[in-house]
Chain A
């Protein structure tokens, strides 16, 4: 792929037209500055976006966000919609970490007041919230209880005292995808997931203590519960081994389905089945169950992060409560209504490394976000800023109600480990006032800020294009990683 293959629509919008390759069903629409485009031309993300346009039933455009990078089939930062009921659903276009996502909790405790105990807070979060390789989760559940958890999602956590009604209201889809089918989740997946309820995992998953550094929209920030100068907590993780196995199972099973339904694809990882087929429905049910697992996972971690906050600060202030801002998914398949080529259409929106960004008055949003649009949580790379954005009306028209999900990698993990020493990075971050708790120095090096794009540039791009609005910028003060 070369820059010449792209049509420039505006400073931040480009298209790969259908004529680029004979098997394309729709064009690719990507949002990127020229600087970002130059960064990603060396990897295969655009080729993968072109591959995604071959999915049967795909409509509109395959949309790619400025935090895009090469994945394993579908590009990270990609969004594709397939028409209901006969269009396909593709597990690879949603990802192995089903409902990997971000939760943000906010306090009214000012950094100045909490600063002296940040190390103690980081130690408590590290102790209370299991993270790292092979670590069991915070909870032990029976097989029967796991099935209920998979079916009910965050409602299960509410029933068992780990959530509030407000938490559920301020979680995408109330923290429960309807239509979850635990019986479509394999025993192998359940075996992997059962010991991991309430665990962070490793890799690029993290818990982070932030300060709300700057507010760009006072009204929206107030609606979201954000106060300048006050502490907040972000949680980034997903469905752990259960989700990984669900995707593995169905990518394997769909190899046969692709042949059965005479679906030809340029990449076997994009295998799919019609949504209304038995295979498609089975995957949908299993995917929703795995998504519910991830909602519960983040809810449990939030519960224990709240406890850490309380235990650290209650002796000196009453401002230790953490209220939920929102919880968003960035690997998901959802049935939604969108305007596509001027027509209202029910579609399955596949988001892989992309976040839903519904604007004001969107159906499906709770009443507390009807005027503002939903919060969109965009974590930056470790040690850099994160952002709270708001969904916009424009996103519904231009990007299937979606926007970016993070900074997006530019370096491979091996390059990051060659260029960066984890212990040196740790010292540099701590010298900047960021407490680090990391299980692995090599893992820390892989997540170095230099390995990622500049999240401020990514956010500026989506804002300039109009598919999100700035609400607040967060600065990290403590990072806990597996």
Chain B
């Protein structure tokens, strides 16, 4: 599982892959942290519960990443542990992280551009483009 940056002229694009849909979402979240230059502190750990719905898996992934962008921007929180379950286009679970020490490149949004979750040799795979 993992993610890698893809060339993009003005924004940031990642390719993300993982054995399962849930772990794909986690890798995408870690990719978002990387794109945003999120440095999560070692202070008191914080948890947040989330419950999201999407019309399909791609919509759900955008909703999930959007939630993380919100926490980065509004609450100065970064998450690196994820206990999430996905079923019938619904995601619920717990995010665990801490206050951000720094965020070098705030992400404006996760987009639907080229977003197509598909089965490949590496498991579940997709590209995600972020507006930065």
* Chain A residues within 8 Å of B, Cβ to Cβ: 43, 45, 69-73, 76, 92, 95-97, 133-134, 188, 191-192, 201-203, 241, 244-245, 247-248, 251-252, 255-256, 267-269, 271, 409-415, 440, 442-443
Contacts of A412 in B (CB 8 A): 7-10
**Residue of A43, A70, A440 most packed against chain B (CB within 10 A):** A70
With beta carbons under 8 angstroms apart, the residue of B9, B111, B129 that contacts A251 is B111
Task: Please tell me if B118 contacts chain A, counting CB pairs below 8 Å.
Answer: no
- Of the A-B pairs whose beta carbons lie under 8 Å apart in the complex, a sample of 15, sorted by A's number, is A43-B9, A69-B9, A72-B111, A72-B131, A95-B131, A133-B103, A134-B106, A241-B73, A252-B62, A255-B112, A269-B111, A271-B112, A411-B9, A440-B104, A443-B105
Contacts of B104 in A (CB 8 A): 133, 440, 442-443
Task: Please tell me if B115 contacts chain A, counting CB pairs below 8 Å.
Answer: yes
Of residues 1 through 42 on chain B, the ones whose CB sits less than 8 Å from some CB of chain A are: 5, 7-12, 37
Query: When the two chains form their complex, are residues B12 and A413 in contact, meaning their CB atoms are under 8 A apart?
Result: yes
Contacts of A241 in B (CB 8 A): 73-74, 108
Query: When the two chains form their complex, are residues B112 and A251 in contact, meaning their CB atoms are under 8 A apart?
Result: yes
With beta carbons under 8 angstroms apart, the residue of B37, B66, B103, B113 that contacts A134 is B103
Query: When the two chains form their complex, are residues A73 and B105 in contact, meaning their CB atoms are under 8 A apart?
Result: no
Task: Please tell me if B44 contacts chain A, counting CB pairs below 8 Å.
Answer: no
Contacts of B113 in A (CB 8 A): 71-73, 267-269
Query: When the two chains form their complex, are residues A244 and B108 in contact, meaning their CB atoms are under 8 A apart?
Result: yes
Closest chain-B Cβ to A332's Cβ sits at a distance in Å of 16
Query: When the two chains form their complex, are residues A70 and B8 in contact, meaning their CB atoms are under 8 A apart?
Result: yes
Contacts of B109 in A (CB 8 A): 96, 244, 247-248
A445–B59 alpha-carbon span in the complex (Å)? 33
With beta carbons under 8 angstroms apart, the residue of B9, B59, B70 that contacts A255 is B59
Query: When the two chains form their complex, are residues B105 and A268 in contact, meaning their CB atoms are under 8 A apart?
Result: no
With beta carbons under 8 angstroms apart, the residue of B7, B11, B70 that contacts A72 is B11
Task: Please tell me if B96 contacts chain A, counting CB pairs below 8 Å.
Answer: no
Closest chain-B Cβ to A161's Cβ sits at a distance in Å of 28
With beta carbons under 8 angstroms apart, the residue of B5, B10, B74, B106 that contacts A191 is B74
Query: When the two chains form their complex, are residues A73 and B73 in contact, meaning their CB atoms are under 8 A apart?
Result: no
Closest chain-B Cβ to A107's Cβ sits at a distance in Å of 32
Contacts of A411 in B (CB 8 A): 9
Contacts of A245 in B (CB 8 A): 70
Closest chain-A Cβ to B103's Cβ sits at a distance in Å of 5
Query: When the two chains form their complex, are residues A70 and B9 in contact, meaning their CB atoms are under 8 A apart?
Result: yes
* Chain B residues within 8 Å of A, Cβ to Cβ: 5, 7-12, 37, 54-56, 58-59, 62-63, 66, 70, 73-74, 76, 102-106, 108-115, 129, 131-132
B108: nearest residue on chain A (CB-CB)? A244
Contacts of B62 in A (CB 8 A): 248, 251-252
A247–B108 alpha-carbon span in the complex (Å)? 10
Closest chain-B Cβ to A220's Cβ sits at a distance in Å of 31
Closest chain-A Cβ to B111's Cβ sits at a distance in Å of 4
A251–B109 alpha-carbon span in the complex (Å)? 11
Closest chain-A Cβ to B64's Cβ sits at a distance in Å of 12
**Residue of A188, A267, A268, A409 most packed against chain B (CB within 10 A):** A268
Inter-chain pairs besides A192-B70, A245-B70, 5 sampled, C-beta below 8 Å: A70-B8, A72-B131, A92-B112, A133-B104, A413-B132
Closest chain-B Cβ to A441's Cβ sits at a distance in Å of 10
B10: nearest residue on chain A (CB-CB)? A409
A246–B58 alpha-carbon span in the complex (Å)? 19
A330–B132 alpha-carbon span in the complex (Å)? 17
> With A133-B106, A203-B105, A252-B63 given, is the CB distance from A76 to B10 under 8 Å?
yes
Query: When the two chains form their complex, are residues A414 and B10 in contact, meaning their CB atoms are under 8 A apart?
Result: no
A132: nearest residue on chain B (CB-CB)? B106
With beta carbons under 8 angstroms apart, the residue of A188, A202, A410, A440 that contacts B9 is A410
Contacts of B103 in A (CB 8 A): 133-134
Contacts of A134 in B (CB 8 A): 73, 76, 103, 106
Query: When the two chains form their complex, are residues A192 and B112 in contact, meaning their CB atoms are under 8 A apart?
Result: no
B106: nearest residue on chain A (CB-CB)? A133
Contacts of B132 in A (CB 8 A): 203, 413
Query: When the two chains form their complex, are residues B111 and A202 in contact, meaning their CB atoms are under 8 A apart?
Result: no
Contacts of B58 in A (CB 8 A): 268
A191–B74 alpha-carbon span in the complex (Å)? 8
Query: When the two chains form their complex, are residues B112 and A413 in contact, meaning their CB atoms are under 8 A apart?
Result: no
B56: nearest residue on chain A (CB-CB)? A255
A446: nearest residue on chain B (CB-CB)? B105
B111: nearest residue on chain A (CB-CB)? A72
